[in-house]
């Protein structure tokens, strides 16, 4: 049943000239998709009733995120200001604050088409209060918004309910009141840390819809392949995964073959929600529940006592199973439609650089998989952080896309010394040499050491600025702005580009060793191991 069906990544349809003109690449029949943004706790900090522009504090991610969105969506703000009816703020004060929000964004090149404001208290039973879709219908009428192709982003369950009531898609952010009402959002998959990841989510949904429009039934075919024992490479927010149905031992065996991965290295089971955990894990300790509530979906893998139902091949015979819920609409939709969790390692040949685009997967594994689902470039770019609950205190097995500082702030200090596990490979991708380039890569901690070897063609992989010494055959800068998130997203692509140039060597400089920097330094260190 080995159906060879490597679907080449489809180029998204080109934006129409008209669409481009009004900044909208997705017009259908003259209708335009939109993103409706809650104000407080979503694009600006929630600091109670704001009376004056001086009280407004933008999240640093807001303007860049909205700038990305407005290339394809009309932007609206929909806000509830009951302080007006309550007499705490005046309608004029609120209007001035809203005008300031619009003007500040305009200063960053971001256009808000309209700000819709409900001034009523809930007990007034007005028609415009969230989650009534009053303003969204108004936008549909006044601006030709296609609500079925639109999104609502907000930090309150009402924002997500508003989307549902209008036939749009809701995205829940954990800024503002988000974390407080998180428990009410069981069953909602579109939960993200903030506006930046909300934009990632919206754009991934858009790409998915466009591919489905061009190839109807694409996701259903992918899910059917998984159910039939096939291998499907799929996007996640970290890196692309090579998926097989977790309870299908034969399919899982094919994953090991395709990757040339040693059988002692266990796989991560990907779930579409915490509801699938009982299928895989015997118990979930309270601290793990806590992390799930804060960080799922997201780049966090939990190692938990396994259920007997999980094949030994998946866990490499360990008493534990690694589980994560990815923060990518394509991954979640695929797992959901496959009807069971999906075992997936990163979709690369064992020991090599992980793929962050569908093209990377096809280069390395093209012939060995049944389908590659293209979900665009991965937003995070390094693999998930792995925390084991097989011991106390819980142990960090691999630094990754979720900064360990955030985990420790929630559940206290982790054991960061490599845990002495029974098996050969205590832990994860924790073989000293991993993520390797073919070209010898050497890591330097000091700028001054960043000089090309005489007579050799050397590439430089640097954090913020070009090397002080000249003479490099190629230079890759991970983030000119010194943003570790951008650096992580660029890391594996930059390594691959340098590796593809037939250089004699690569010199890489370490990045600040905090937050995502730990994951970046870890990957660089493993790529360089044995060669220093």
Contact call for residues 26 and 253 (beta carbons, < 8 A): no
User: E strand or H helix at 269, and its extent?
Assistant: strand 268-270
Q: Does 476 bind Mg ion (CB under 5 A)?
A: no
Nearest C-alpha neighbor of 398 from the set 277, 520, 292, 484: 520
Total residues interacting with Mg ion, rule: CB under 5 A: 5
Give me the residue label for tokens 């703020």: 89
Closer Cβ to Mg ion, 40 or 265, answer by number: 40
Minimal distance, residue 474 CB to ligand TXA, in Å = 27
CB of 132 to ligand TXA, least distance (A): 39
Nearest partner of 440 among 507, 491, 501, 497, judged by Cα: 507
User: Taking CB under 5 A as the rule, does residue 200 contact Mg ion?
Assistant: no
- Which of 495, 500, 502 has the alpha carbon at shortest distance from 523? 495
Paired residues of 191 in beta bridges: 172
Following CA atoms 69, 70, 72, 77 in sequence, which dihedral angle do they give, to the nearest 10 degrees?
80
Stretch that binds Mg ion, among 151-159, 351-359, 406-414, 429-437 (CB under 5 A): 151-159
Which position among 7, 27, 38, 522 is part of the footprint of Mg ion (CB under 5 A)? 38
Residues forming a β-bridge with 324:
270
* Contact criterion met (CB below 8 Å) for 233 and 240: yes
265 binds, among Mg ion, ligand TXA, none (CB under 5 to 8 A by kind): ligand TXA
Residues found near ligand TXA in the complex (CB under 6 A)? 236, 238-239, 241, 265-268, 299, 301, 303, 315, 318, 320-322, 324, 326, 344-346, 383-384, 386, 397, 425, 427-429
**Residue 176 contacts which entry, Mg ion, ligand TXA, none (Cβ below 5-8 A, type-dependent):** Mg ion
Residue placing its CB nearer to ligand TXA in the complex, 130 or 270? 270
Distance CA 168, CA 42 (A): 18
- 232-234 vs 371-372, strand pairing mode: parallel
Q: Which option in Mg ion, ligand TXA, none does residue 267 bind, with CB closer than 5 to 8 A by kind?
A: ligand TXA
| Residue number, 317 or 482, with CB nearest to ligand TXA | 317
Nearest to 233 by CA among 246, 223, 243, 244: 243
CB atoms within 10 A of CB 379: 25
Site for Mg ion, residues 164 to 183, rule: CB under 5 A: 176
Nearer to Mg ion, 158 or 518 (CB): 158
Q: Which of residues 39 and 270 has its CB atom nearest to Mg ion in the complex?
A: 39
Judged by beta carbon, residue 429 or residue 452, the one nearer ligand TXA is: 429
Question: DSSP code of 217?
Answer: T
By CB under 5 A, name the one of 41, 194, 341, 376 that touches Mg ion. 41
Asked whether the beta carbons of 193 and 56 are under 8 A apart, the reply is no
140 vs 524, which CB is nearer to ligand TXA? 524
CB of 323 to ligand TXA, least distance (A): 9
Among 155, 200, 476, 499, binds Mg ion (CB under 5 A): 155
Region 206-235 residues binding Mg ion, contact defined as CB under 5 A: none
Nearer to ligand TXA, 315 or 458 (CB): 315
Phi, psi (deg, nearest 5) at residue 412: 90, 180
Half-sphere exposure (Cβ direction) of 496: Cα atoms closer than 13 Å: 18
Binding positions for Mg ion, rule: CB under 5 A:
38, 40-41, 155, 176
């Amino acid at each position: 049943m080995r159906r060879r069906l490597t679907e080449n990544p489809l180029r998204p349809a080109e934006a129409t000239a008209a669409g481009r003109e009004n900044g909208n690449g997705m017009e259908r029949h003259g209708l335009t998709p939109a993103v409706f943004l809650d104000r407080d706790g979503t694009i600006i900090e929630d600091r109670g009733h704001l009376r004056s522009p001086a009280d407004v504090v933008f999240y640093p991610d807001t303007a860049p995120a909205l700038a990305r969105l407005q290339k394809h969506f009309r932007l609206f703000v929909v806000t509830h200001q009951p302080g007006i009816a309550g007499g705490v703020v005046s309608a004029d004060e609120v209007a001035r604050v809203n005008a300031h929000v619009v003007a500040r964004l305009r200063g960053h090149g971001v256009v808000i088409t309209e700000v819709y404001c409900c001034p009523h208290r809930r007990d007034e039973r007005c028609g415009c209060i969230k989650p009534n879709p009053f303003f969204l219908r108004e936008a549909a009428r006044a601006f030709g918004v296609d609500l079925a192709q639109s999104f609502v982003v907000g930090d309150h369950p009402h924002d997500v309910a508003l989307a549902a009531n209008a036939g749009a898609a809701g995205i829940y952010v954990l800024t503002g009141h988000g974390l407080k009402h998180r428990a009410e959002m069981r069953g909602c998959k579109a939960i993200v840390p903030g506006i930046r990841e909300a934009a990632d989510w919206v754009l991934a949904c858009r790409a998915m819809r466009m591919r489905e429009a061009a190839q109807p039934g694409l996701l259903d075919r992918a899910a059917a392949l998984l159910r039939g024992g096939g291998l499907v490479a799929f996007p996640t927010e970290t890196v692309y995964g090579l998926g097989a149905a977790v309870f299908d031992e034969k399919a899982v065996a094919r994953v090991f073959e395709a990757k040339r991965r040693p059988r002692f290295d266990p796989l991560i089971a990907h779930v579409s929600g915490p509801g699938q955990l009982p299928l895989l894990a015997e118990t979930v300790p309270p601290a793990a529940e806590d992390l799930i509530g804060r960080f799922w979906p997201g780049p966090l893998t939990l190692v938990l006592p396994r259920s007997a139902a999980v094949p030994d091949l998946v866990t490499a015979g360990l008493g534990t199973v690694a589980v994560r819920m990815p923060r990518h609409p394509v991954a979640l939709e695929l797992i959901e439609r496959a009807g069971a969790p999906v075992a997936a390692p990163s979709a690369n040949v064992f020991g090599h650089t992980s793929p962050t685009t569908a093209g990377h997967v096809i280069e390395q594994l093209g012939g060995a998989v049944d389908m590659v689902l293209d979900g665009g470039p991965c937003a995070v770019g390094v693999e998930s952080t792995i925390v084991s609950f097989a011991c106390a205190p819980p142990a960090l097995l691999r630094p990754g896309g979720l900064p360990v500082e955030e985990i420790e702030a929630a559940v206290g200090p982790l054991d960061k010394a490599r845990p002495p596990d029974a098996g050969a490979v205590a832990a994860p991708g924790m073989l000293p040499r991993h993520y390797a380039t073919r070209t010898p890569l050497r890591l330097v901690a000091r700028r001054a050491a960043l000089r090309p070897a005489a007579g050799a063609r050397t590439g430089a992989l640097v954090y913020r600025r070009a090397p002080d010494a000249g003479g490099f055959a190629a230079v890759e800068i991970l983030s000119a702005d010194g943003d570790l998130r951008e650096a992580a997203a660029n890391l594996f692509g930059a390594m691959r580009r340098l590796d593809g140039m037939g250089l004699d060597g690569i010199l890489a400089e370490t990045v600040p060793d905090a937050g995502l920097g730990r994951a970046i330094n870890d990957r660089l260190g493993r790529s360089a191991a044995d060669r220093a």
